Amino acid sequence: MRLKFLGSGDAFGSGGRFNTCFHLERAANGNVLIDCGASSMVAIRKWQVDPNAVSTVRSSELRLDPAFADVSNLDKSGEKLARDNKRRMAALGNRLWHSDASFRVVPAKYSILSGRIVTTAGGNTEFADMRAAYDALDAATKAEIEDLVCEHSLIYSRGQLGFTEFLPDERVAMKPVCHRLVRTHPGSGRKSLFLSAHIGTIVGWPQPEAMAFIRDLIEHATQPEFVYSHRWTQHDLVIWDNRATMHRVRRFDDLNIVRDVRRTTTKSDGPTAAQEAA
């Protein structure tokens, strides 16, 4: 089916405009194929999902099927996470501007977020248009960043919040990966900034200088004119293209209010930069 929504435009920001043309179809094997074309994100109100298709797994480790990232504030028994819960501490990193799975050699392409239980008292998800942010840079900055490569890791983003409780094997798994700071979208041909809280340095730069520069770029890219804030209603389904956006969740009273939101992602076609030898 093809869905087209009112309010589409070339960019999104404080005016609430965002490009919302995309295409869904079911392949012969039953998989759903997504083609967002030149779009960056779409919000579908009241998308009812078959509960049997995404049922929770009652295992000792997971609340949800491994195909889904549990970005709720619930533990495996359905209780709200305690204030000092390690998973809650790590999940606070979602309140920082980021691009999904930029800490992997092959980062995320599309993300799909389903709101099962939502709150209107905070908990909005904000999206920043990295294409428009790039376009708004001056010529000198565009030339400076064209060939820069950044290191990304979960350790960097969580470290910004003071979270350092990683096991030795987790630190090995979270070894930094390299990504270009500027990438070209294969669908639209537009350049965009590849920014994320997961960035810990720029290759070849002193870390303090690199992080001061990345902070400046993130401040530029998240100005109101580049940002859309999604206020959730139950059963909303939001799809976005990580190759053209950053996002973050806003603070809410997660110690007292249940927010059950579930995400799955697809992988991009490949790395954006060569990786350093181990």
* pLDDT of res. 48: 46
* pLDDT of res. 101: 96
Q: How far apart are CA 234 and CA 40, in angstroms?
A: 22
Residue the block writes with tokens 């730069």: 205
What domains can be seen in the chain, in order of their start residue?
A: 2-267 (3.60.130.10)
Report whether 265 contacts 101 (CB < 8 A): yes
Q: What is the mean pLDDT of each successive set of 10 residues along the chain, which is 278 residues long?
A: 38 48 47 53 54 37 83 95 95 97 96 95 96 98 98 97 93 96 94 98 98 98 95 92 96 98 93 84
Beta-carbon count within 10 A of 115 CB: 22
* pLDDT of res. 276: 80
* pLDDT of res. 4: 36
* pLDDT of res. 85: 95
Per-residue tokens: 75: 């533990």
| Sequence-ordered list of residues with C-beta below 8 angstroms from that of 208, at least 6 positions apart, any chain | none
